Structure 1
Amino acid sequence: MIDHGHDLVSLHDATERLLSAAAELDDAAVARPSRLPGWTLGHVLAHLARNADALVNVLEGRPMYASGDARDADIERDAPRPLEVHLSDVRESAARLRAASAVPADWSRTVELRNGVTDSAARVPFRRWVEVELHHVDLGIGYELEDLPTEFLEREIAFLAERFAGRADVPGTRLTDGTRAWSTGREAEQPEITVTGPAPDLLGWLSGRRDGSTLTVEGGPLPALPPL
């Protein structure tokens, strides 16, 4: 069962970690390339702020973004701002999301995200937690997949494995870090492929942040995953 209250606390802690780390940067760093193709650190920080406001929209029953083009334009507009403006924006937008999450509501209701994707309102805090943790890694400022909380690693691997489950273009695959196991890909009585490695490497591969070259694969080549 999803515990949105627990996830809101974890999200707050992750946001504080990111803000503390980013505060050590300077204005010149904003223009440095991030680990996301075509995005600077400023783009990542701008996206984080606008995503928080977008999730306020979701919780309050409005479209997440006015449009995909408007989302992209807002990020481009905000990316070159000075570091302190970025930090204030991330902090203040996070506070707006926290305030929206504190309003009494039916957390079992279904909400709509981007591109027609729907989910339980209770999973919105976790989805935001994912944004903050993974984009902290994407900044490339010393926070790595190995630094992610163990609970987060396990839950995000499970979430992404579920996302690719049933896909005809992904062979039936068993994922394991040696102690835990997850299944993904097309349905099969027995998985066609077993992929083994540390949880950070499994998550890196599933999320498109690592190429999977450090993973051990049995039963065939490492599956090619569709883009998220």
Structure 2
Amino acid sequence: MRRTFDDTLSWTATGTALLLDAVAGWGEEQYLAPSGLPGWTRKHLVAHVAANADALRNLVRWAATGERTPMYSSRRQRDADIEAGSRRPAAELDAWLRSSAERLAADVAELDGDRWSAEVVTAQGRTVPATEILWLRSREVCVHAVDLATGLTFAGLPAGFLAALADDVAAKRAAAAGPAVVLSAADTGDRWELPGEGGPTTVEGPLAGVAAYLAGRPHDLTDSDGSPAPSLPAWL
């Protein structure tokens, strides 16, 4: 694993700042524009990020007290909260995004060092140490800062975060169905293999492009003969 607790703390701060700076001053028109995620406006996306902060606070509370506190009561409730959030006025949605991020940061700062090793369960059902909470949040804010579709690309995210994201997504994809692909980051020398189906396709490009491809975001990677890189199934 090429990420530390301090890395994820830093990436969370960076991604949060990118998000908050991007939406600063937005009115209804900007918020109702399409995001980079199919079927979602920027309001949907911001509501999702704000709800995620509140949900991760539940995991921090779980780690702090030992009392089981799931991120969400159910997937249906999670989706309903995002839909309801997408109908909030712009100013109210902006306030929720900022206050939820501030509350999460305050909870994280107060968590006793020994409690970071406590086990919690993610929304996907994985049992992980509480230190993973910060990785989940950094992934959320950094990737979705790009998904706001304001012009920020994966190339504008920290290189260390991109490498950690590629490691994380490649490991998940290696255990799932999909095409066999060998990925190389030309600018860093990193390499990832997706064992998948069929003969492996070799794909090379900059780290930012590889991370975007693995995460299912827009990219311009091609295989060795110039054809578009194979389509991958959904990541999450």
TM range (shorter): 0.7 to 0.9
Between 1:133-142 and 1:9-18, the stretch displaced more is: 9-18
Q: CA offsets, 1:181-200, max 9 Å, x none?
A: 2323238xxx8332101122
Question: Helix, strand or coil for the counterpart of 2:195?
Answer: coil
Question: Helix, strand or coil for the counterpart of 1:115?
Answer: coil
Superposition pairs of residues 36-185 of structure 1, within 5 angstroms: 36-61=37-62, 62-102=69-109, 103-104=111-112, 105-167=114-176, 169-171=178-180, 173-178=181-186, 179-185=188-194
Q: CA offsets, 1:33-79, max 9 Å, x none?
A: 11111111100110010000111112222111011110011111111
Point out 4+ residue stretches in structure 1 off by more than 3 angstroms.
Answer: 166-170, 220-224
- Preserved contact between residue 175 and residue 182 of structure 1 (Cα < 8 Å): yes
- Are 1:214 and 2:221 counterparts? yes
Q: Which amino acid in 2 is paired with 1:98?
A: A
- Preserved contact between residue 109 and residue 120 of structure 1 (Cα < 8 Å): yes
CA distance in structure 1 between the partners assigned to 2:214 and 2:190 by the alignment: 14
- Preserved contact between residue 55 and residue 72 of structure 2 (Cα < 8 Å): yes
Q: CA deviation at 1:225?
A: 2.4
- Preserved contact between residue 42 and residue 80 of structure 1 (Cα < 8 Å): yes
Q: Give aligned pairs, total.
A: 223
Question: Helix, strand or coil for the counterpart of 2:212?
Answer: helix
CA distance in structure 1 between the partners assigned to 2:134 and 2:192 by the alignment: 24
CA distance in structure 2 between the partners assigned to 1:182 and 1:26 by the alignment: 43
**Gap change, CA 1:221 and 1:91, over 3 Å in 2:** closer
Give the % identical residues: 35
Q: CA deviation at 1:221?
A: 8.0
Q: CA deviation at 1:168?
A: 5.3
TM-score by length of 1: 0.87
TM-score by length of 2: 0.84
Question: Helix, strand or coil for the counterpart of 1:107?
Answer: helix
Per chain length, whose mean CA-contact separation is higher, i.e. which structure has more relative contact order (CA < 8 Å, sep 6+)? Answer: 2
Between 1:129-138 and 1:103-112, the stretch displaced more is: 103-112
